[in-house]
Chains A and B, each alone.
Chain A
Amino acid sequence: MSLPTDPAPVSLGKDPPDAAPDANTANGPVAAQVQVFPAHFSGQAGEYFRLWLVNLALSVVTLGLYLPWARVRNRQYLYGHTWVDGHNFEYAANPWALLRGYLLVGVFFGAYSAATQLQFSGWEWVAGPVALIFVLAYPWLVRQSLRFLARSTVHRGLSFGFGGSLGGAYMAYGVANVAAGVSFGLALPLAWYAQRDYQVRGLRYGAATGRFRGGPGGLYLIGLTALGLTVGGGLIVGVLSTLGAVLLRSGQTAPFGDEFGDILEQPGVLAGIVATYLGFLVLYMVGWQYVRAATLRYVLNHFELGGVVRARATFSTARLVWIGVSNAAAQLVSLGLLTPWATVRRARYVAAHTQVLSLVDLGTFVAGPAAPAGALGEAATELLDINLGF
């Protein structure tokens, strides 16, 4: 399956308005006047916590009807506190459209789950088509989703856009995913590449179009590193748990009972099993967070817009993995209450180590042709957001 990165990988931000226009930076496209605009995230954990909690409470009290507004407000806060060149981003989605999307999704999901749960006569004729439609329309839905997300993102009064083709979506999210599946994961990094390439190439800011300078090789490197991390870590966990078991057995005075139940009643054994299980859980988390962080870094470092703007990520992948894993642990322990803190912490770190490099003044972009995006696309976004939400 695809591992979608942050759907708005280009939400770089930055602050000081007095960015010096002197060219002292390498890495630019040409040895011309490259201006560097560091990104900056200004959100506060306490402030965001209040916003998040109030909106969560309102969602619950309204039995979910307020959810679109809650979602929009949360995103507006996160986008709005991301700065580049003294200007913040803006999330401009229409909550009413999102509500329509939710209701549409609710009808489909309700029919599907009622059919599979209650299995009334003819239930296959409800569940089957719904599942089939979802599978067949998946790439189209991804494209609608990317369109909606881009259109809802505004910077300096100018909206982003997405111009990826439908054929491209079926290649990147259909063919590539199937290939990754039938090749036992060998083509998975290729699918990642195809998806990132599709996302970046389709991106528009005004009339400027995105370009992905990376190749499949970079993503294969990420995939192999993740595999190495997981296998190596798995070996360590395995060896440790075996060692533990052996030690425990040698400390046993009486011979082992014959029944499995007896073994399980030894407190040490149960603790060992739990520890091993936790070890593998952490390993899985680390592997997945690594792929996420390394891909974000890779995409940022190979992103180009209109031939004049590039991004640069200087964050450490290992540190971002640590932030991801410790965030997840904190959220788990706090029963989700630390979610806003975790979000702010990650956004702040990523923004602080991301820069925008530009050959031109960022005020010189002009609008391109506006692509229409109907309510169905917005509904699709939510459908996908729910299913892909990590």
Chain B
Amino acid sequence: MPVPPPAPAAPLTLSGTYFDGRSSQPWPATLETGPGGRATLTLAGPGPSPEPAAPLHWPAAALRAEPALPGLRRVIRLPGGGRFETGDEAGVRALEARTRQNRVLGGVRRLEGSWALTLGATAALGLFVWGFLTFGLPALARSTAAVTPVAVLETFDRESVRLLDTDDFLAPSRLSAARQAQLRREFARVSAWAGGGYRYRLLLRDGEPAHAPFALGANAFALPGGTVVMTDQLVALARSDRELMGVLAHETGHVTRRHGLASVYQGLGLALLGTAVTGDLVGAATFAAAVPSTLLQNGYSRRAETEADERAGAYLLRAYGTTRPLRDILARLEAQDRAGEGGPEPQDSASPGDLLRTHPGTAQRLAHLREIENAAR
């Protein structure tokens, strides 16, 4: 935009009402802005004293025009606490242009004035919200998760395990001590490969205790700090330990890519946004309280699953030369799940782990694992 020359503008005269800021008495007055950038206020009639009041002078730049509001007279704040009200919208606009005030809020006022612009703004808003929730917030959450110190992750693990154990989601494993030790030894190889400075540990638990609010069933999931939980039911479902190691490698993929923390941040971000927009802390607090359970029940995005599968595929190829073990157990899990849905005890909502999070995607996941294997040949 070209800088306007110091305008030798024509004098601008507004007529309206003056308040001196010290009493509630209105005075009819005129406010004149001369060519020299000098503003003069003159009372139209007699002032408080019988003799005519002397005109008041300020530099025009010291006048503060209040932003326009629909249906209301314009207000100009004067130095010293006085104010001048006028119905001369065009005049005040000229003054605003001359002193370069309210450019942003003047634009807001234009938006507010038209139905078409208002509805356009609403559509833009909807588009923005959609875009932010779909791309912006996840990206923000991922990058925040990436820079979170490991100490925070470990606290998160500790609290989550405490919650899972005290709320009866999980019971102590029924596997023999020898079997548990064997699985841990094998997991140590996986976790050594996964690396990243996390304190990995494998927790074996019974996923179907008697009083559980819902049964986890055959499942495995990773907490952000490196704690991986695997249920006895999954161990029973596996036909070989290779399959189990495929699953565990998948879980270490969630850990190293920090998917768990990212989804927590995503939930917190939603709550924060809700607060900012509605100004309602209570609603946001309620929402925030639901974050841990959201994490449990919604699991990860398909993108996160793909990333974790790629890590698992890399491990399996390196250890066994094939991605087949993970494909086998995934296919068996889905078959079991499908049978379960038709059976007497539906368990769809009862599966909060992440292994089969993206139901319709299992076929693609199997295909992708096969691709990984083919690519390695």
Contacts and interface: CB of A to CB of B under 8 A. Distances in A.
- Please say whether chains A and B are actual partners in one complex: yes
Contact of A365 (B23, B113, B268): B23
Interface secondary structure of A, over-half rule: helix
Contact of A158 (B21, B128, B156, B272): B21
Given A57-B121, A57-B124, A88 B72 contact: yes
Contacts of B72: 77, 80-81, 88
Contacts of B75: 90
Interface in A73-101: 73, 76-77, 80-81, 87-88, 90
27 contacts: A50-B70, A51-B70, A51-B112, A56-B277, A58-B121, A61-B124, A63-B273, A64-B276, A69-B105, A71-B279, A73-B67, A81-B71, A81-B72, A90-B75, A118-B155, A119-B155, A156-B25, A156-B26, A157-B19, A157-B24, A157-B82, A206-B24, A362-B24, A363-B24, A363-B26, A365-B24, A387-B281
A40 B81 CA distance: 27
B118 A61 contact: no
Interface stretch (B205-213, B284-292, B329-337): B284-292
Nearest to B77: A92
Contact of A117 (B26, B108, B277, B291): B291
B69 interface: yes
A67 B24 contact: no
Contacts of A48: 70
A113 interface: yes
B268 to A, nearest CB: 7
Determine chain B's interface SS by DSSP, over half rule: helix
Contacts of A266: none
Query: What 9 A-B pairs come out closest when comparing CB atoms?
Result: A157-B19, A64-B276, A57-B125, A156-B24, A363-B25, A365-B24, A50-B118, A120-B155, A80-B72
A64 B273 contact: yes
Given A57-B121, A117-B268, A118-B152, A50 B279 contact: no
A342 to B, nearest CB: 15
A47 B271 CA distance: 30
Contacts, number: 143
B115 interface: yes
A73 B69 contact: yes
B317 interface: no
Contacts of A387: 281-282
Nearest to B114: A50
A37 to B, nearest CB: 13
B370 to A, nearest CB: 40
Nearest to B126: A57
B86 to A, nearest CB: 13
B22 interface: yes
B280 interface: yes
Interface in B77-131: 82-83, 105, 108, 111-115, 117-118, 121-122, 124-125, 128-129
B24 A53 contact: no
A24 interface: no
A60 B105 CA distance: 16
Contact of B108 (A73, A114, A157, A158): A73
A206 B71 contact: no
Given A54-B117, A73-B67, A156-B26, 11 more contacts: A47-B71, A56-B277, A57-B124, A60-B129, A64-B275, A77-B72, A81-B71, A113-B285, A117-B289, A386-B279, A387-B282
Given A51-B70, A57-B122, A87-B26, A367 B21 contact: yes
Contacts of A90: 75
B308 to A, nearest CB: 23
Given A61-B128, A117-B268, A364 B155 contact: no
A54 B291 contact: no
B51 interface: no
B122 A158 contact: no
Interface in B113-157: 113-115, 117-118, 121-122, 124-125, 128-129, 152, 155-156
A385 interface: yes
B159 interface: yes
A366 interface: yes
Contacts of B113: 50
A77 B291 contact: no
A43 interface: yes
A366 B22 contact: yes
Interface in B238-272: 268, 271-272
Contacts of A58: 108, 121
